[in-house]
Amino acid sequence: MKRLNFMWNNISGSIPKEIGNITALELLLLNGNQLTGSLPEELGYLPNLDRIQIDQNQISGRIPKSFANLNKTKHFHMNNNSISGQIPPELAILPNLVHFLLDNNNLSGYLPPEFSKLPNLHILQVDNNNFDGSTIPESYGDMSKLFKLSLRNCNLQGPIPDLSRIPQLGYLDLGSNQLNGSIPPKKLAVNITTIDLSNNHLTGTIPSNFSDLPLLQRLSLSNNSLSGNLSSTIWQSRTSNGIERLILEMQNNNLSNIMGSTNLPPNVSLWLQGNPLCTNSNLIQFCGSESANNSEDSTKSTVICQSQSCPPPYEYSPKAPVDCFCAAPLLFGYRLKSPGFWDFLPYQNSFYEYLTSGLSLYTYQLYIDSFNWQEGPRLGMSLKLFPEYVNNKSSHTFNGSEVRRIGSMFTGWKIPDSDVFGPYELISFTLLDPYKDVVVNSPSSGISKGALAGIVLGAVAGAVTLSAIVSLLILRVHRRDYHAVSKRRHSSKILIKIDGVRDFSYREMALATNNFNSSTLVGQGGYGKVYKGILADGTLVAIKRAQEGSIQGEKEFLTEIQLLSRVHHRNLVSLIGYCDEEEEQMLVYEFMSNGTLRDHLSANSKKPLSFAMRLRIALGSAKGIIYLHTEADPPIFHRDIKASNILLDSKFIAKVADFGLSRLAPVPDIEGIVPAHVSTVVKGTPGYLDPEYFLTHKLTDKSDVYSLGVVFLELLTGMQPISHGKNIVREVNVAYQSDMVFSVIDGRMGSYPSGCVEKFLALALKCCQDETDARPTMAEVVRELENIWFMMPESDTSAAESVVPPSGKEVTPPSSSSNVKSFYVSSDVSGSDLVSGVMPTITPR
């Protein structure tokens, strides 16, 4: 047995350790199922394994160090699971490793510097993990064969290393981290297509080395602190054929001018909003919400033939040597898992040649019926393969052997690797008339008993272990089928299958909470009760159980699962799984040991938060929300941001929660225009609602900005949004206008730098402006909070990063050398008395 292929079969349960005994195994393909548990150590002892694909399951735990024994493995695909812990540095000895995909997991620790020793590594893709503030190793600049480096949203810090020594680097994504310093001045590889350094803390000027990169499709430097001038040499070398597009994203920096020509070729798009240069009326065309030259080309077939001339299941072969050649195509669902480009259009012809040459077909036999970018980014396609046209007597169908050959090429990964197109996966291979009776080895929506029995019979003679494995898989598939049937009989609820999250049974939930014992109850809201639970593997979780007649019902339940399953950020609560069984609906989240922000702002809180901790919570919350607005695909408006929906983990890191009311942000229409708002029924929490949204029912990203501004005011004052008929926005505004700001500051947060408090308060009030256009964007909010954070005394920011909040004891004022001169104790400061220097005592809230 050389191939074990159970892709996309809805299998649940754990991976049998007995697979480790199939020593001849070359392909282990378990991706696209609902497998749980940890990775068996025994898999590391498969001496002939070429490809291991366990991506898009619910695997947890660590990567066994035994995997360092997989000397022949080229493809290591474990993305979209819940794998945690450190990437074993021992894997750096794998001599043949080509693709290493571990994105969208829960990895921590550091990036192993030893990976620079991997002699054949072409793709390193580990984005959307949390590497504990690790730096990018300098040694990564020595990866001689690396084509793609994707480390997006990994909580990385420090400078960007010199990567100019990587001769074939074609794709670089380091966005949404905490990288600082300047952009290295040396030129990257000439074949690079994508450079994304957005959403970091980069400073300095934009280097000139971006000017001579002929294949560059996208340069994203937005949401940094880059300054100086933008040179037009970046786009002046572009031809104007309209195919090789270049996207330049420079929003929200400190750029002061454009040096050179501002006449863009028609295939170049430039975004500059949020830079000082936007005050120049000559540059205003680059500072709107849409850039000039932002257009797409269509590649749909234009073959026109007489209607009804192709009877089903035949259809026109769009690219055949003659018009109106009727043939029966083979249908494939196909996905590029790590494409080395951002814009597919210039690479379509190359893709036709790459795939058809790998399949030994003519290019006209392949037709891309549709394609769409998916989270990752990954590129999904619907493909059609048509029979060869020779002459008027050409066959209009593939023969059975050719169908089997083509299917085997896909499922056996016999198509040669390509750096540009990266690894692929076959999502579906649909055999309709006239091919439905052809037997091929292809993925399907389920495994039949007969198919598995055939595998067992073929293995009986020399592989008793394999029979046991297949029997286990039959049992799991049938058990899952039984549960599905049982749910159909006893519940009218929608059956849900969502990648990336675990489907729990009611029994598992009951065991985790001691049958929902009242001692495990930790909260209650409009949706239902929240319980603290312990799963069978010891994981601590929060289980949100919908109550009967809940205001939020099936629609919100499905929305929350779908949204949370595809967003990954350290400042967003992670969804572990759900339960939709026995007339119950439950959501299972990571447990936040320090409860809600509202808990710590109430008068009953025994752990008052210092100002530095409050500022850190505000910054973390804003980063989580800007991820929803700009990084989620498609973008998301939260719609119910409030202090009780901001949770705090054991280290008091803020995580935004509760997506039950979320709405997808507007998407471009057929002409590529993005609507400014979503029209919707008003939902949310009184006191946090955007006034314009309430009046017009038009939801925008600025609606979330308003709600977050109210949370900022809560952080500063300790007050609730509405209390005893008083509104927090109005009350703080009155104090602000009367120069009585410090009379409303929460007295429990100890001493604080007054300059930082004033800036934070001014930002909060700006967020709470009645008019949408008067509010800052979320990117501007994050930038201002970071500026305030950098103003803070180092002693305060260090204390804020400790696990336990301070006791409330007064902090010694900083010396005169501090960059923040004014320092007061909040409980002793009152409004206009600041001018005279008198500090009367005010009773803390």
Active site residues: 640
Q: Are 623 and 636 in contact (CB under 8 A)?
A: no
Nearest Cα neighbor of 28 from 61, 57, 5 is: 5
Residues 500 and 525 sit within 8 Å (Cβ to Cβ)? no
Distance from C-alpha of 386 to C-alpha of 656, rounded to nearest angstrom: 49
**Residue 404 neighbours by CB under 8 Å, 6+ apart:** 438, 439, 440
Distance CA 95, CA 430 (A): 37
Helix axes 778-791, 701-717, angle to 10 degrees: 30
Query: Whole-angstrom Cα distance, residue 181 to residue 156?
Result: 13
C-alpha radius of gyration, the chain, whole number: 29
Beta bridge mates, 656: 572, 646
DSSP sequence for 118-129: -TT--EEE--S-
Residue that has been written with the tokens 């049937």 in this structure: 485
Residue length of the chain? 845
Nearest to 654 by CA among 608, 621, 611: 621
Closest by CA position to 108, among listed 174, 61, 68: 61
Residue 475: half-sphere exposure toward Cβ, Cα within 13 Å: 9
Using DSSP, state whether 529 is helix, strand or coil: strand
Alpha helices in 344-440 (DSSP H): 348-359, 400-411
Helix-strand-coil split of the chain, %, nearest 5: 30, 20, 50
Euclidean distance between CA atoms 238 and 217, whole angstroms: 11
Q: Residue 279 carries which side chain, given as an amino acid letter?
A: T
Q: Write the DSSP assignment of 634-655 as a string of letters.
A: S-EE-S---GGGEEE-TT--EE
Q: Are 551 and 647 in contact (CB under 8 A)?
A: no
H helix runs in 311-438, sequence order: 348-359, 400-411
8-state DSSP, 297:
-
Query: Hey, which residues does 181 pair with through a beta bridge?
Result: 202
Alpha helix positions (H), 392-448: 400-411
C-alpha span between 827 and 725 (Å, rounded)? 25
Compute the distance between CA of residue 746 and CA of residue 735 in angstroms, rounded to an integer: 14
Residues 6+ apart with CB under 8 A from 192: 169, 170, 171, 172, 213, 215, 216
CA dihedral 832, 834, 836, 837 (to 10 degrees): 160
Fill in the DSSP letter of residue 258: E
Instruction: Write 651-654 long-range contacts (CB < 8 A, 24+).
Output: 651/801, 651/803, 652/594, 652/609, 652/613, 652/616, 652/617, 652/803, 652/805, 653/570, 653/571, 653/620, 654/571, 654/597, 654/616, 654/617, 654/618, 654/620, 654/621, 654/624
Query: Is 187 part of any known ligand binding site?
Result: no
Q: CA-CA distances (angstroms) from residue 77 to 74, 449, 608, 775? A: 10, 28, 45, 43
Output the CA–CA distances (angstroms, integers) from residue 652 to 620, 658, 667, 756, in the order listed. Answer: 10, 18, 35, 20
Identify the residue whose tokens are 């609560």.
573
| Chain mean position to CA 127 | 8
Residues comprising the binding site for ATP? 544
